[in-house]
Chain A
Amino acid sequence: MSGIWLYLVAGILFLCSLYADRAKTRKALAKALDSFRQILPTVLGMMVLVGLVTTFVPPTTIARLIGPQSGALGIVTALAIGSAAMLPSFVAIPLAGSLLKAGAGYPQVAAFISTIMAVGVVSLPLEARLFGWKAAALRNGAAFVTAMVFTLAVKEILV
């Protein structure tokens, strides 16, 4: 359903853009293709990984680890995995969809995607070099707390 309005909004804006400036619209299309090409290898790799994992790890195991009944431990697991590295949101959302289909619970997926987008322990040294350790640690800590609050909200409201 929301997929339809995504197409609708993009389609209308595209037509407006085409009407206003053909050359700019062509540049926009080139940029769209370029961005898509850039994330495609990572997304496809993630999809294969998810395909492999779901084949070898039965849904019952996924459900036990991060399923709706996995409770606080499942949330902690999801927060920990999500905090390890950072993935762009375009990659995180399809991954979240796959996890949900594989039997993960909503709060656990919330914990995973909110941390994977904003908390990155692996990239912390890079961030610290740019902003200083204090600011980098604070930003990651803040993003982690935010992820926890969001997860609890999903747990209370959506489940």
Chain B
Amino acid sequence: MKAVMRQYRFLLLMLSLLLLTWLVSPQSGRGAAVATLKSISDMLALLPPVFLLIGLIDVWVPKETILKQLGDGAGIWGILTVLFLGTLSAGPLYAAFPLAVILLEKGARPANVYFFLGVWSSAKLPVIMYETGVMGTTFTVLHLGISLTLYYFFSLLTERLAHSLQLQPEG
């Protein structure tokens, strides 16, 4: 309930600001309301299939089962699994944090876990299609190509830097 309140707090704040604007200056309030409705209708035109895809993926892709098989030494399989799961998962990046912690605890390769976070943040299949619609194909291809390549490289680097340091005091 508290979480629900927090979700709506921002919207309520914005709506009261809009109302206040309308009371102070009806003309500006009208302008803001029209602009808002326009962006909402733009969004609603593309969002339904995005969420339909999210629902379908969630039901048909057995994420937990696949994650359990992501052990150490998974090799190229590990990368592909991570790529697959990251693009097919739903939710904001902080929803992936607890999952990443579980993966690390279960002995998944740290580089794979960091790559998973990168893929999760920037390359979700339904959002990729949505992004193509809003920003154009070239923009989206650049975003994906550069992000995935660099995230993979940086995940190896993070593993080397962060984990060698953690191991040193113990060894």
Contact between chains at A49 and B121 (CB < 8 Å): no
Chain A residues with CB under 8 A of B162: 131-132, 134-135, 138
Minimum distance in angstroms from A42 CB to a CB of chain B:
6
Partner of B129, one of A9, A45, A52: A9
Chain B residues with CB under 8 A of A150: 142-143, 146-147
Total interface residues on A, using CB and 8 Å? 77
Max chain A Cβ within 10 angstroms of own Cβ: one of B91, B93, B163? B93
Contact between chains at A89 and B124 (CB < 8 Å): yes
Contact between chains at A89 and B121 (CB < 8 Å): yes
Max chain A Cβ within 10 angstroms of own Cβ: one of B18, B42, B59, B155? B59
Chain A at the B interface: SS class: helix
Mask, B115-151, CB within 8 Å of A = 1, is 0011001101001011111111111001100110011
Partner of B36, one of A17, A48, A131, A132: A48
Given the known interface contacts A89-B122, A126-B94, the answer about A146 and B54 at a Cβ–Cβ threshold of 8 Å is: no
A143 to B3, CA, bound (A): 28
Chain A: CB-nearest residue to B130: A93
Given the known interface contacts A2-B133, A51-B35, A114-B147, the answer about A146 and B55 at a Cβ–Cβ threshold of 8 Å is: no
Given the known interface contacts A31-B58, A51-B18, the answer about A126 and B97 at a Cβ–Cβ threshold of 8 Å is: yes
A/B interface sample: 15 pairs, CB < 8 A: A24-B60, A31-B59, A38-B7, A52-B21, A90-B47, A93-B135, A96-B134, A98-B39, A110-B139, A130-B100, A132-B162, A146-B154, A149-B150, A153-B142, A158-B139
